[in-house]
Amino acid sequence: MNQADQGLRDTKSTLQLIPKRRHHTQLLRCVALAGTNQNQTEVRVIVYVPPVIESFFVRRIPIGQRGVNAIFTCTSDGRPPCSIAWLCNDTKVTNDTRHQIYHSLQQEDTSMSSILIISHISAEDDGNYTCLTETRLGNDSSTITFSYSDQSDIIRGDSYISLKTATITPSVNNQGKRLLCVALHPELPDIRHCAVYLNVQGPPDDVKMTALDDLHDGIETNVSCRAFNGYPASLIHWYIGTRNVTPIPTLLSITNGRTENGYKNGKSVSITYGRTLNLTCSVQGARPPAELEWQVPEEVQVRLGGQFNAVHSDAYVSQRVVSVTPSRDDGNKIFRCVASHRELDNGLQLFIRLDVQVPPSNLLLTAYGSITNNAKESRSVNVFECSATSFTCKSIGSSPTALISWILASDDDLGSTTSTSTTNKADQGLRDTNSTLQLIPKRIHHNQLLICVASAGMNQRQAEVRVIVYGPPDPPQLNGTEGLQGGVSSNVTCTSNNGYPAPTFHWYLRSKNVTKGSDTQTLRNRNHRIDATSIFNFTPTIDDHGELLVCQVFQPNATSMKSRRISAVLNVLYSPVIVDYSVRRFSSGQHSVDAILTCTSDSRPLASITWFLNDRELINGTRHHIYHSQAQEDTLKSSILNIVNISAEDDGNYTCLAETRLWKDSATITFLYSGKPSIITPRRIDVK
């Protein structure tokens, strides 16, 4: 916790660094990230390393007609730079008439080279020559066994390194030829060899220029100059008299590495306060290279790089980089790049102005309803569908003034917005921006991120909150009320989709709450809303036919939302039952008597009635007439069998069969022409 401000936090980090050679002169940066903000500090690392002998060799240089000098070269790498001493058979070698020692520090600040020259060598110079390098961190040594003969052997560890020097005088004709070195040893079954290819550099054999026989005053003429057989390629300079007319720099540009095109002269360059930007000054078309100079105000924090030159076609391209880390006060400061060349009376120059921009230090997103911080550090807010909700986004401390925009899914019509800008209280040079959005929540907004984007020049910052839209489902649907069977357990479903959160269901039958017999199932759909189904299980009775079954859907946490309901009239089916079966006779003439058999069935749906005599189906004929009729009730059906002019031949068992797709029922009368008929008890047959 910060001692000066209890609302802030201090953070401490410790790094156990194992320094390596490649870390030398590199910047060690500590970067502190606080949300979308960061700050950094840096220190340059200087790595000290003990000395190591990187190379040690001897070569022979002929002098005069018969003399030969031996030159021992020893190179040591270490930091700080080491001291080098020479020993011959463990005796220190110093400068005298035949021994000269030279020390030099190479371009790299770690590499020290020492040369021992022995003049006019003879057999007296044979021995073990040791190069000893030493610093306060340690020492290293290497030994060459030198013989007046043309081979030298170096003791390294427990083995030898053998050296033999060949002096060659190559010509251009030797370009690409192979130089082969062969090693022989009694323990080797075959020879070992290595080869190098000669890269012979030399001036061109000849230089030719096209004839200048036909020149006219003021008329441009192309003249070519060719250099033959030089290696590497020659750079050609042009002179008229003593005046050098070789190409001079003509194109000067400043770029930032983010865009291909350079800045125009006097252009403002947008740069963020506290962040480093690399500006590259380039000049083209010069030979020799032009010299580049950055002219920058002393008070601006910069780091200048060295100049880089590269050959392009027949001229040079030169670049120099300046790294700028601006402060708030560096706005409108001028950076000037000047290209100087010996062929230019006045150097080329180009300048730019710094446009220092400050990103918002904070971005606050609030809502009329409370915003909830979830366990995964995400934020969400609950709103109600079609009910206007106010969101406010405040950008604090920016330059230039931040412009605030709102993004929610792919909706271009979020509602009305208002924006105001005021001076920042803590810093009068910065601006605060306040934007208010009156959002009309829609279904498509559910579970989407509402993003507030503050753009201050080239800098952006954003804040976001996940919108949870509470809303009613689609109109409910009722299924399963058709084809209910009396006495059979049945399920009726009420479906309510696309609501949020999950709804509750109430069931009513004859105005009685029967919700207890229901079960609810929910599923989150691809739009993150809830599809819900309530299943009502009951066993309908015949008395339930025609009654009203109601499903009512309630949305929780939304008292302002009306409940939705759907209802259906129950259609309860039941199997046929023969409720009346009778026979009577009546006179149809002086000597004729007819028999009338009547059968009535009760069922839903209505039954079809069929007549049988001794299990043989009867149909309409000359003596048998069948009539069907429906009673006022939609469940009763009657059928009449009229037997004309009965006789003893009509005796038998007459069966009335009532049948539906659910069940069937039957009743039988035993009819006797001379006797009283008897009715056999009906029996019901299940139809599966």
Rg (CA), the chain: 54
Last residue of a domain, one of 554, 570, 586: 570
Do 59 and 140 lie in a common domain? yes
pLDDT: which is higher, 131 or 286:
131
CA distances from residue 288 to 230, 237, 337, 350 in whole angstroms, order as listed: 19, 9, 19, 21
Residue 7 belongs to a domain:
no
What whole-number distance in Å separates Cα of residue 404 and Cα of residue 417?
10
Question: Does residue 145 lie within any of the structural domains?
Answer: yes
Same structural domain for residues 466 and 481?
A: no
Indicate whether 686 pLDDT > 50: no
* Lowest pLDDT segment from 21-35, 332-346, 593-607: 21-35
Average pLDDT, the chain: 84
| Enclosing H/E stretch for 653 | strand 652-659
Place of tokens 């829609």: 442
- Non-local (6+) Cβ contacts of 597 within 8 A are 581, 582, 583, 611, 640, 641, 643, 654, 656, 669, 671
pLDDT of 346 strictly over 90: no
CA distance 155 to 167: 24
Asked if the structure places residue 18 within a domain, the reply is no
- Report in angstroms the alpha-carbon separations of 404 from 396, 428, 434, 531, 558: 12, 20, 8, 37, 32
Q: How many CB atoms lie within 10 A of CB 145?
A: 17
Is 295 domain-assigned?
Answer: yes
Number of folded domains in the chain? 5
The answer on 399 and 339 residing in a single domain is: no
- Whether 567 has a pLDDT exceeding 80, the answer reads yes
pLDDT at 13: 87
DSSP state of 527: T
pLDDT at 177 over 70: no
Whether residue 54 is found in the same domain as residue 143: yes
67 & 154 share domain: yes
Question: By percentage, how much of the chain surpasses pLDDT 90?
Answer: 41
Listed residues 142, 167, 192: the one ending a domain: 167
Find the mean pLDDT for residues 459-463: 93
Whether the per-residue pLDDT at 14 is higher than 80: the answer is yes
Q: Bigger pLDDT: 520 or 371?
A: 520
> Is residue 22 domain-resident?
no
Instruction: Give the Å distances, CA to CA, from 238 to 244, 249, 288, 314, 479.
Output: 6, 15, 12, 11, 98
Per-residue pLDDT at 682 exceeds 50: no
Distant-in-sequence, close-in-space partners of 304: CB < 8 Å, separation ≥ 6: 294, 320, 321, 322, 323
User: Does 233 fall in a domain?
Assistant: no
Please indicate, yes or no, whether residues 304 and 404 belong to a single structural domain of this protein: no
Q: What is the mean pLDDT of residues 94-121?
A: 85
CA distances, 617 to each of 337, 582, 612, 626 (Å): 118, 19, 4, 12
Listed residues 446, 470, 494: the one ending a domain: 470
List the domain range (segments joined by +) for residue 116: 49-167
Q: For residue 175, tell me if it sits in a domain.
A: no
Torsion of CA 684, 685, 686, 688, to 10 degrees: -160
Residue 73 structure tokens: 């070269």
Q: What is the CATH number of the domain that holds 272?
A: 2.60.40.10
Does 296 share its domain with 398?
no
Q: How far apart, in Å, are the Cα atoms of 504 and each of 354, 412, 547? A: 64, 34, 23
Q: Quick check: 684 pLDDT over 50?
A: no
Q: Are residues 526 and 545 in the same domain?
A: yes
Residue 666, classed as helix, strand or coil, is: strand
Q: Do residues 540 and 552 share a domain?
A: yes
For residue 544 the two structure tokens come to 């339930």
Which residues 6+ apart lie within 8 Å of 71 measured at CB? 58, 59, 60, 61, 115, 116, 117, 118
So what's the pLDDT on residue 94? 92
In DSSP notation, 320-382 reads EEEEE---GGGTT-EEEEEEE-TT-SS-EEEEEEEEEEB--SEEEEEESSPEEEPTTS-EEEE
Tell me, yes or no, whether 388 and 308 share the same domain: no
- What six digits make up the tokens of 553? 């859907």
| Vertex 664: Cα angle to 663 and 666 (nearest 5) | 160
Query: Within 10 A of 77 (CB to CB), how many other CB atoms are there?
Result: 21
Query: According to the model, what pLDDT value does residue 454 have?
Result: 95
Residue 167 has pLDDT above 60, yes or no: no
Give the 3-state secondary structure of 133-148: EEECCEEEEEEEEECC
306 with 400, same domain: the answer is no
Q: What is the pLDDT of residues 71-86, one digit of tens each?
A: 999 988 888 888 899 9
What would the DSSP string read from start to end of 588-636? Answer: -SSS-EEEEEEEEEEEESPPEEEEEETTEE----SSEEEEEEE-SSTTE
The answer to whether residue 297 is domain-embedded is yes
654: tokens are 């007459």
Judgement on whether residues 306 and 409 belong to the same structural domain of the protein: no
